[in-house]
Structure 1
Amino acid sequence: MRIAFLTAPEGVEQVELTDPWQAAKDAGHEPVLVSTEPGEVQAFDHLDKADTFPVDEVAGRASADSFGGLVLPGGVANPDFLRTDDQAVSFVKAFFEQGRPVAAICHAPWTLVEADVVRGRVLTSWPSLRTDIRNAGGTWVDEQVKVCDHGPNKLVTSRRPDDLKAFCETYLDVFAREAA
């Protein structure tokens, strides 16, 4: 299965990109880095620059129907940038409209709030997003990983890098079940 990993050109939390990416590869899937611009994305280790990664596809030209699911890594700057980019928000929204599974960790649900897809859903995130999620009509919970099946697709969310092991196991299980 092809899995889209959507990031901004700068600001993605490296471990929240690389751990789920490697987990997808290890499970036999094809991870694809989608960004708002061609070239490379600059990852961060908290506030320090880390590695760069080559962009495979651009959000404005990528189609949700060519992927089995979507992963949204966090980092504070990453979703803050994505939620201001209309093409990125449309790309995310398309996964929900098509009933495809989505996984988001840490600050990534900010992009979900902007795409107006949290209403009626139960999810978790970095604690500072709690009010944004509630204001967007969602229910925020403080859990390591949360699977919500409200609507036609499944949404997997986690709070922070410490939750990555559970996040990766859960999102891969959910994506595999949805593809079957």
Structure 2
Amino acid sequence: MLNDKTIAFLVAPEGVEQIELTEPWKAVKQAGGTPKLVSTRPGQIQAFNHLDKADRFAVDATVDEVSAADFDGLVLPGGVANPDILRTVPGAVRFAKGFFDAGKPVAAICHAPWTLIEADVVNGRTVTSWPSLQTDLRNAGATWEDREVMICTSGPNTLITSRMPDDLKAFNQAFGDAFSG
């Protein structure tokens, strides 16, 4: 159970894969936690269903207003554009890295590990992702495996990674268990 736990969802103003935001968000709420949408700009973010615009979601805080100390865990939803944008914003990279520095759990799905590569936190970790990221992750020092979900505890925190929307059930279960502990 995630009672009294507040979980940050870090997303760019545009480009997050909607189902990789909404399904983990629901999982946090159903487990009794409080999800908060953190972005690089205030207002709303634009989600996508692959390449088509989907819904808009209200931002709770920007990366300049909060830190890892304000949360119990971090979820990084995917989509191609979302992490590609986040990894170019120093404040977003610092925010993500802060969870590793604080030893707090992080969950990343699909293309989201790009942000973690930029934060320099995957070296020595075993991860999975959308298959096209495997070379990037290996070049950053990670061991990449093609699995539905990977739970890595070999670093300062628990890192949960998953490949794609088809893996959301396993991803939600794994990060829910890790964030509860």
The answer, yes or no, to whether TM exceeds 0.5 is yes
1:92 match: secondary structure: helix
Q: Show structure 1 runs of 4+ deviating over 4 A.
A: none
2:63 corresponds to which of 52, 59, 62 = 59
2:85 match: secondary structure: helix
Corresponding pairs, count: 177
Counterpart in the other structure of 1:173: 177
Q: Distance in 2 between matches of 1:159 and 1:70?
A: 17
Counterpart in the other structure of 1:36: 40
Q: Distance in 1 between matches of 2:155 and 2:161?
A: 15
1:24 corresponds to which of 21, 25, 28 = 28
1:10 corresponds to which of 11, 14, 18 = 14
2:130 corresponds to which of 126, 132, 151 = 126
TM-score by length of 2: 0.97
2:78 corresponds to which of 57, 74, 78 = 74
Q: Does residue 50 of the first structure (1) align with residue 50 of the second (2)?
A: no
Q: Distance in 1 between matches of 2:178 and 2:67?
A: 21
| Corresponding letter in the other structure for 1:13 | E
Any idea what the Cα deviations from partners look like across 1:91-129, whole Å, max 9, x if unmatched? 000000000000000000000000000000000000000
Counterpart in the other structure of 1:101: 105
Counterpart in the other structure of 1:111: 115
Q: Distance in 2 between matches of 1:29 and 1:47?
A: 30
Per-residue deviation at 1:137?
0.4
Counterpart in the other structure of 2:89: 85
Q: Distance in 2 between matches of 1:150 and 1:71?
A: 19
Q: Distance in 1 between matches of 2:65 and 2:136?
A: 29
1:99 match: secondary structure: coil
TM-score by length of 1: 0.98
Question: Identity, % of aligned pairs?
Answer: 66
Q: How large is the RMSD of aligned CA atoms in angstroms?
A: 0.4
Task: Note the residue ranges of structure 2 that are not aligned, 5 or more in a row.
Answer: none
Per-residue deviation at 1:151?
1.6
Per-residue deviation at 1:3?
0.1
Per-residue deviation at 1:150?
1.4
Counterpart in the other structure of 1:154: 158
Per-residue deviation at 1:140?
0.5
Task: Note the residue ranges of structure 1 that are not aligned, 5 or more in a row.
Answer: none
Q: Distance in 1 between matches of 2:83 and 2:113?
A: 8
